A and B are shown apart, each in its own frame.
Chain A
Amino acid sequence: MITRKQWTTISEFLIETTIRICGISAIIFVFGIFFFVFREGAGFLFSKWEPLKFFFSTEWYPTSVSNKRYGILAIIAGTASVTVIAMTIAVPFGLGAAIFISEFCTGKLKEFLKILIEFLAAIPSVVWGFIGLMVMNPLIIDLFRVPIGLTALNGGIILSLMAIPIIVSISEDALKAVPDSYREAAIALGITKWQMVYRVLMPAAKNGLLAAVLLGVGRAVGETMAVLLATGHAVQIPGSPLDSVRTLTATIAAELGEAPVGSDHYQVLFVIGIFLFTITFVINLTAYLIVKGIRVQHGES
């Protein structure tokens, strides 16, 4: 017979074990993602993969009958171009809004703006893509007198609006983490708010702001549906923001459905997936280390 006390001990043990397993589930899933994406792409990666051709050729002809070529340089250029455009817009506006919300307004207005930014972050990516396709497309055609408005510029603007909420909320956290004694000391010296932001807060929070920008970049690189709909899907190295481009994410999304399971084409798409996973992993790791560095600096455990 199990006594009540023993029963408590056993059930406690079982529950704690479950909690511990679930506790490390995040690690299991990150490894799982890498493992299963790698597993599907491994066949190609180990037998036919030529890194030089893969990374430095612009010829992406995965369905050619006579000579299939898998070069992703133009696609990398597409991802890079929309990311650069997005960051050119999102970094100044995101930081500006974060400074305004964190330092220049208080009370109700602050809450209201933060909620609006949260709403902006909640808009689904396919809706952003739809906006790029139906609203921005005709707008760009009219403004720049180009034949087609589904361009790197279109995708970049959409991506910037998607990256801004992340940049705003993380920069705001970084500014909030600067001890108030810094602000008090600065105000006691008789300087204006702007001088305080520029000379005291920005240097003190620069690591956190950098992390915010990095996470914004991560979001822009990894975004799929919005760029799939808004960038025009042409494999080429863009000469100007008004050229159509195609990104790594959009390539996978558009072609995975058509590639027969197990074919070279299918496996190459998984190799691109591994590449994307690696890029975002490095970006997130860097941002994490930067933020952790700040904690050590400020003396928190």
Chain B
Amino acid sequence: MFEETPHIRQKLRVETTAKSLFLLMTVFIIIPLVLIVTYMIYKASPVLSLDFLLSKPIRGMRDGGIWPAFLGTLYLVLMSLCIAAPVGVMAAIYLNEYAKDNWLTRTVNLAVINLAGVPSIVHALFGLGAFVIFAGIGRSILAAALTLAVMTLPVIITSTKESLAAVPMSFREACWNVGATRWQTIRGIVLPNSVSGMLTGFILEVSRAAGETAPIMFTGAVFYKAIQEGDLFAYGLLDQCMALSMHLFTISTQVPDVPEALPYATAVVLLSTVLAVNALSIGLRVYIRSRKKW
């Protein structure tokens, strides 16, 4: 056996200290997440119910539920997905299947990274300048959804690109060898084999878009809008709408004397929606990995 010299003991002591320090740091990041979520649910519990979700705010938003805001968020998110998904998927197809390694491709990659890094409030300024004023759409669900779509485009491009890259090259080569064109190969072989990976990207886009506030603040979201309870088609494309994130901002800063539980409950609904959607995306990813055939 080796004998433990003081030097080795010292070394191992440092090792243990370092390891526990890193563990501690990780735990310190996780703890706030758990504490905050628990605390918020506790504070929200008095009003949290299905009724809260399905009824509209009353008495100047000091009572009642969040239905118009919830429905507005649903509209914004689905519309932004409908806009961003086709463009993002095609962009990813271009980057992964067509692009050669040249300056244009590098510029596109740089642009994707930059688009993801642009502050949300600058996206809001862009949406206001381009869609609301220049295109003349006005403050509306459409303008807000377009702004959200531009903002979340990098999420879709990145995740779709990854799932396309995961399809083995031999699949494509086999298809080309039987005489299929590039697009036929993509449609018949590449897309069907990467569709579930793309789905995780779409879900992630939904989670991002649902939480955003700044980009929709000046492009289509309003403080209050009266709609019929339970009416799923209450908003038109060019209407302004309420949104969960905006509603949380409004009732926690702009409206005086709101009972404490209301903003907490709104925050919990927003947070759990976003986290649930995110969990769905993670679950799908794990499922795909476990079923991978090649």
Q: How far is the CB of A118 from chain B (nearest CB, A)?
A: 7
Q: Which residues A88-126 have CB closer than 8 A to chain B?
A: 92-94, 96-97, 99-101, 104, 113, 115-120, 122-126
List chain A residues, Cβ under 8 A from B111.
Answer: 26-27, 29-30
Whether B30 contacts A116 by the Cβ 8 Å rule is yes
Known contacts A12-B182, A30-B111, A284-B113; A116 and B33 CB within 8 A of each other: yes
Q: Which residues B250-269 have CB closer than 8 A to chain A?
A: 252-253, 260, 263-264, 267
Q: Bound complex: CA of A35 vs CA of B74, how far in Å? A: 30
Contact among A11, A25, A36, A134 with B91 in the assembled complex (CB-CB below 8 Å): A25
Known contacts A93-B28, A221-B119; A229 and B274 CB within 8 A of each other: no
Q: What total of A-B pairs shows CB separation below 8 Å?
A: 259
List the one stretch of A15-23, A46-54, A66-74, A173-181 in contact with chain B. A15-23
List chain A residues, Cβ under 8 A from B214.
Answer: 125, 224-225, 249, 253
- Is B14 positioned at the interface, with any CB of A under 8 Å from its CB? yes
CB-nearest residue of chain A relative to B101?
A: A301
CB-nearest residue of chain B relative to A222?
A: B119
CB-nearest residue of chain B relative to A289?
A: B110
List chain A residues, Cβ under 8 A from B58.
Answer: none
List the one stretch of A55-63, A141-149, A187-195, A234-242 in contact with chain B. A187-195
- Is B87 positioned at the interface, with any CB of A under 8 Å from its CB? yes
- Is B234 positioned at the interface, with any CB of A under 8 Å from its CB? no
List chain A residues, Cβ under 8 A from B86.
Answer: 22
Whether B126 contacts A32 by the Cβ 8 Å rule is yes
Whether B150 contacts A104 by the Cβ 8 Å rule is no
Whether B114 contacts A285 by the Cβ 8 Å rule is yes
Contact among A99, A131, A193, A285 with B36 in the assembled complex (CB-CB below 8 Å): A131
Whether B33 contacts A119 by the Cβ 8 Å rule is yes
Q: How far is the CB of B209 from chain A (nearest CB, A)?
A: 10
Q: Bound complex: CA of A18 vs CA of B183, how far in Å? A: 12
Q: How far is the CB of A135 from chain B (nearest CB, A)?
A: 7
- Is A65 positioned at the interface, with any CB of B under 8 Å from its CB? no
Q: How far is the CB of A24 from chain B (nearest CB, A)?
A: 6
List chain B residues, Cβ under 8 A from A218.
Answer: 117
Whether B29 contacts A120 by the Cβ 8 Å rule is yes
Whether A8 contacts B126 by the Cβ 8 Å rule is no
Whether B123 contacts A16 by the Cβ 8 Å rule is no
Q: How far is the CB of B139 from chain A (nearest CB, A)?
A: 11
CB-nearest residue of chain B relative to A270?
A: B125
- Is B21 positioned at the interface, with any CB of A under 8 Å from its CB? yes
- Contact indicator per residue, chain A 157-195, by CB within 8 Å of chain B (1) or not (0): 000010010001000000000000000000000001111
List chain B residues, Cβ under 8 A from A197.
Answer: 18
Whether A124 contacts B118 by the Cβ 8 Å rule is no
Q: How far is the CB of B30 from chain A (nearest CB, A)?
A: 5
CB-nearest residue of chain A relative to B150?
A: A29
Known contacts A126-B211, A135-B39, A195-B11; A104 and B23 CB within 8 A of each other: yes
Whether A134 contacts B245 by the Cβ 8 Å rule is no
Q: Which residues B83-124 have CB closer than 8 A to chain A?
A: 86-88, 90-91, 93-95, 98-99, 101, 104, 107-115, 117-124
CB-nearest residue of chain A relative to B252?
A: A130
List the one stretch of B60-68, B129-137, B166-174 in contact with chain A. B129-137
List chain B residues, Cβ under 8 A from A15.
Answer: 183
Whether B101 contacts A100 by the Cβ 8 Å rule is no
- Is B248 positioned at the interface, with any CB of A under 8 Å from its CB? yes
- Is B207 positioned at the interface, with any CB of A under 8 Å from its CB? yes
List chain B residues, Cβ under 8 A from A224.
Answer: 119-121, 213-214
- Is B82 positioned at the interface, with any CB of A under 8 Å from its CB? no
Whether A192 contacts B119 by the Cβ 8 Å rule is no
Q: Bound complex: CA of A19 vs CA of B88, how far in Å? A: 10
Whether B183 contacts A273 by the Cβ 8 Å rule is no
Contact among B19, B122, B181, B267 with A273 in the assembled complex (CB-CB below 8 Å): B122
Whether B117 contacts A283 by the Cβ 8 Å rule is yes
Q: How far is the CB of B130 from chain A (nearest CB, A)?
A: 4
CB-nearest residue of chain B relative to A24?
A: B108
List chain A residues, Cβ under 8 A from B129.
Answer: 36-37, 39-40, 270
Whether A33 contacts B122 by the Cβ 8 Å rule is yes
Q: How far is the CB of A149 from chain B (nearest CB, A)?
A: 15
List chain A residues, Cβ under 8 A from B123.
Answer: 33
List chain A residues, Cβ under 8 A from B184.
Answer: 12
> Which 7 residue pairs are nearest across A and B when measured between Cβ atoms?
A124-B211, A23-B94, A222-B119, A96-B25, A22-B90, A100-B22, A36-B129
Instruction: List 8 contacting pairs A-B, 8 Å CB cutoff, sorted by A.
Output: A23-B108, A25-B87, A125-B120, A253-B121, A261-B133, A273-B122, A281-B118, A284-B113
Beyond the given A193-B18, A224-B119, could you list 10 further A-B residue pairs with CB under 8 A, ordered by the A residue number?
A40-B129, A94-B29, A122-B211, A122-B275, A125-B212, A134-B264, A168-B29, A252-B121, A256-B128, A284-B117
